[in-house]
Structures are given as structure tokens and as C-alpha cells.
Amino acid sequence: MFDSLSDRLNATLTDLRSRGRLSEEDVAAAMREIRLALLEADVNFKVVREFVAKVRERAVGEGVLTGLNPGQQVIKIVNEELAALMGTGNEKLAFRSSPSVILMAGLQGSGKTTTSGKLAKLLEKQGRKPALVACDVYRPAAIEQLKTVGGQVGVPVFDRGTDVDPVEIATWGVQQARQQGRDTVIVDTAGRLHVDDDLMAELVRIRDAVKPDTTLLVLDSMTGQDAVNVAETFRTQVAFDGIVMTKLDGDARGGAALSVRAVTGMPILFASVGEKLDQLEEFHPDRMASRILGMGDVLSLIERIEENVDRDQAAAMEEKLRKSEFTLDDLLEQLRTIRKMGSLGGLMKMIPGLGKQLRDMPVDDRQLDRVEAIILSMTPEERRLPEIVNGTRRARIAAGSGTSVQQINALLQQHRQMKKMMKSLAGGKMPGVPGLQGMPGAAAAVSKKKKKKR
């Protein structure tokens, strides 16, 4: 979502970084470019004006221009102010009562029901015992959707159909959760296509009946400034405690995420970064600011690795690498581990120090599917001893995986290179996920890019 904004800001700040000295005119010119970049990203114009004024005031007034590395200092100021624009990062869900009640509000189509399931999965991973309550009685499909999501997540869903008052359902659902020993209740309320008095009145009645510890407003970031307007209306009529931004993996301009905190004063607590139920993340303004400015996000990368990489398996893999025993089965295992952490393109953007050209390299995740199909079309012996894969075997594997012999050759060649490289990396006890640096998908993208240049 922030790719276009990131490109514009990086171009401007790279120009500043390359200058040995800065004048007030240099800063003023950079501020004009930053202002245009933010406006083009659909950031609220009042927010843009205040942001640029703060950056300019700090850059000119703190001795930056006469200090060492003035360009770097201006970048640091932009990074800090960008993070401050999106919040402090200290806000968390409140769990005061037992069970703790979380009320979900938002317009129809914002992703509220799916987000309720994602939040339940996230809280369960954190050690809590959530339950879901279906209060959208106006859309029967919403109740069935919540049941489906709850079943996939593995948490109970309390519903009483569409003929009962939603306030009664919410109160009953909290009671059921208490009786079943659940410590968190997520109440999925009805939405509308637009803000109206009936929607607000019903939300107020449910809020007063269940007395939630936290009320979350779910906003579709693809709607741009309209999402900010919706948030402002909800804030004035139904007080909420935090915001969930959905569809941050989309291709909108990102202005809503950068504006909503400044306009409403309410923090963004979570961000949905994909359609899968495990793709809801706690929102960290400082990390998002670093991503936007092309500085990577190593903390989030480490967290994903810790969540998906088993320490014992990693130790066993390191031992295999030391002995040069990195088989195609091991490669397949690493591919699946990396797929759990998200797209390759997204992971590359989290790695600090990568140049823009590498970060923006077109990595096709479908390439990983093809690699998996190739390996699964091999016999156990072929996976263990790739050197026995001769011409006849390659033709059979290509037919079985729906690929070509050339693709089989490329994979085997890459495996040999990875095996050699991994052995040397393992000797230095390099942390992380074995296989990340030599991913076949990335290698194919590099090769494709080189051919284009020729």
C-alpha cells in the first residue's frame, strides 16, 4: 500500500543524504517534495500541513544544518515524526473484567466479521481463551460466516439466529462465555453501507448492555479519506478505544492509515495484512515508519521467525548443513516455513540494508509452488540424492509436476549452489532461517531481471 509513497520519500531523502552541507533552501525544497508525496498518498491535507511544519521546524531549529551528517539527521527527524503521526506504539487491548469484552464496530464491507475471527486467533496464540458472539441479525450470511471462521480458528461461536434482539444476544453470549470459562468475548455487531442513526443507536445499546473493556472500529484502508470521515463520525457518536485497519496489503495509497490517528486521536491497534486468518498484526507505528522510509523492519522479521521456526528443527538443520547434508526434503521444509511467514517480497522489505533495487525485485511466490511441485514429484531417493536425477528421471519429474526439464535443471543447479553456500554460512553460525538467501523464487527473479538488461 505504501510503495508509491515510499518511493517518493526515499528519492527526496536520498538526495538530502548525498549532500555534505544543507541550507534552509535545501530543506524547504525537500519539504515541498514530502508535502506533495503525502498529498498524493491521500493523507489529510491538515495532517500534511502540520507534519511538514514540525519537520521543518526541527530541521532548521535544532542545529541540524550546521551539525555532522545533516542529511541523515533530517531523515531521522522525518522517521520520528512519521511514527508520531501514527501513534506512540504503547496502546494495547484492555483486559479488565472477566470475561473481557471486545466490541467490534464498523461499516458493512469493512471486513469486520473476518477481523473478529483473526483477532480471536491472535489472542488464542497469546494464551487467552476467546469466544465469538454473532450479533449481526440483519445479514444471515454474516452469522454463517462467523461460524465458519470460528470453526477454522477453533473457538466457540454463540448465536441465536436472526429473530432475537442483538442486545439480548450480546448479553446472553457474554453469559455463555463466562459459564464455559472463556476469558475473552469478541462481539461482532451489524454494519451498514453508510453511517446512520439506527446503526449508532444499536451500537450504543449493545455497548451499554455488555460494558466492553475495548471497542474497536474496523476501517477499510482501501476507502482512503472516506475511512477517516467514518472514524470521525463514529468517534463523535459512539466512543471507541482503538482502530483496526484492514486490507493494508492492497494497492490503495495509504492515506487513511497515516491520517486517522491525527484526525481522531484514537490509536491504530491492529492491521490486517492479508486474507488468511493468521494475517492480523499488532500495529507498531515506529516499525511502519521504518518500512515506509525503506529502512526495513528487523523486529517484525525476528518475531515472524520465532513464531514459525522450531529451535530444535533449526539446530538439526544447522548440523545437516555442517555435514553438507542439505537435501531437497530439507529445502522443501524451509520453503514451507518461509511461506508461513508471508510473501517473499514482504519479507525482503523487512530486511534492513537491502538496496531499493533488491527490495523491489519482482519475486513471484508462485515460483515456490512450482519448486514444491517439482520436489514432490521426485522419489524419496531422488530427494535425498539429487545427483542421481538423470535425463529420464528429469523428463518423468517434469511431466509429474507440470513443469519443464529446464526448470528441473535450474532447481538442481540452485540446490547445489545453496548447499555449498549454506555450508559456509553454517560455519559462522549465521542466525535465521536456512535457505532464505538462496530462495529459488528470488533466484528466478534475479535471472529474469538480468535477461531484461541484456
Give the tens place of pLDDT for each residue, 111-130. 899 999 999 999 999 999 99
Average pLDDT of span 374-386: 92
Using CA atoms, how far apart are residues 314 and 140, in angstroms rounded to an integer? 46
Q: Of 414, 378, 384, 411, which Cα lies nearest the Cα of 397?
A: 378
The SS3 assignment for 55 reads helix
Q: What is the pLDDT of residue 338?
A: 73
DSSP string for 56-116: HHHHHHSSTTTSSSHHHHHHHHHHHHHHHHH--S-------SSSEEEEEEE-TTSSHHHHH
Q: What is the pLDDT of residue 298?
A: 55
Q: What is the pLDDT of residues 128-145, one digit of tens each?
A: 999 999 999 988 899 999
Mean pLDDT, the chain, rounded, equals: 80
Of the pLDDT bands very low, low, confident and very high (cuts 50, 70, 90), residue 365 is low
Alpha helices per DSSP H over 248-310: 255-264, 285-292, 298-308
**Domains of the chain listed by start with CATH number:** 3-86 (1.20.120.140), 100-286 (3.40.50.300), 301-453 (1.10.260.30)
Q: What is the pLDDT of residues 42-96, one digit of tens each?
A: 888 889 999 999 988 888 876 666 665 777 788 888 888 888 888 876 778 889 8
Average pLDDT of span 391-402: 93
Q: What is the pLDDT of residue 394?
A: 93
Q: What is the pLDDT of residue 306?
A: 64
Q: Which of 237-241, 293-297, 439-443 has the highest mean pLDDT?
A: 237-241
Which of 9-18, 79-88, 93-102 bottoms out in mean pLDDT, i.e. has the lowest? 9-18
Q: Which of 82-86, 241-245, 341-345 has the highest mean pLDDT?
A: 241-245
More confident residue, 98 or 321: 98
Of the pLDDT bands very low, low, confident and very high (cuts 50, 70, 90), residue 174 is very high
Q: What is the DSSP letter of 267?
A: P
Beta pairing partners, 268: 243
The SS3 assignment for 239 reads coil
Of the pLDDT bands very low, low, confident and very high (cuts 50, 70, 90), residue 17 is confident
Sign of CA dihedral 423, 429, 434, 440: negative
pTM of the model: 0.68
